[in-house]
Amino acid sequence: MASPMRDLQSKALKLPQKDRARLAQRLISSLDQERGVDVEALWLREAERRLRELKTGRVTGIPAEKVLRKARAALR
């Protein structure tokens, strides 16, 4: 007999990709809420910090094409 977790997992994997992504996001967010962490606020603060660094010239951006090419090569 399948465990409730395996049964739920089987059903979740049959969902369309968009619904699986939404479910995954909710599950991960629920873990952060249990710890009292506001992950969205942390990511927003990080994004704002990175934008400031780009605007002030402290860091230089890398073209997306170059980043994607490097990532694809690393996956081979």
Instruction: Say which residues have a Cβ less than 8 Å from residue 53's Cβ, sequence separation at least 6.
Output: 59
pLDDT single digits (tens) 26-57:
998 888 666 767 878 889 999 999 999 999 99
Q: Which residues of 1-76 form beta strands (DSSP E)?
A: none
What are the residue ranges spanned by the domains of the chain?
4-75
Give the tokens for residue 13: 């994997």
Q: What is the residue-averaged pLDDT of the chain?
A: 91
In percent, the amount of the chain with pLDDT more than 90 equals 74
Report the C-alpha gap between 59 and 53 in whole angstroms.
6
Instruction: Say which residues have a Cβ less than 8 Å from residue 2's Cβ, sequence separation at least 6.
Output: 10
Beta carbons of 54 and 61 less than 8 angstroms apart: yes
What pTM value is reported for the model? Answer: 0.48
In percent, the amount of the chain with pLDDT more than 70 equals 93
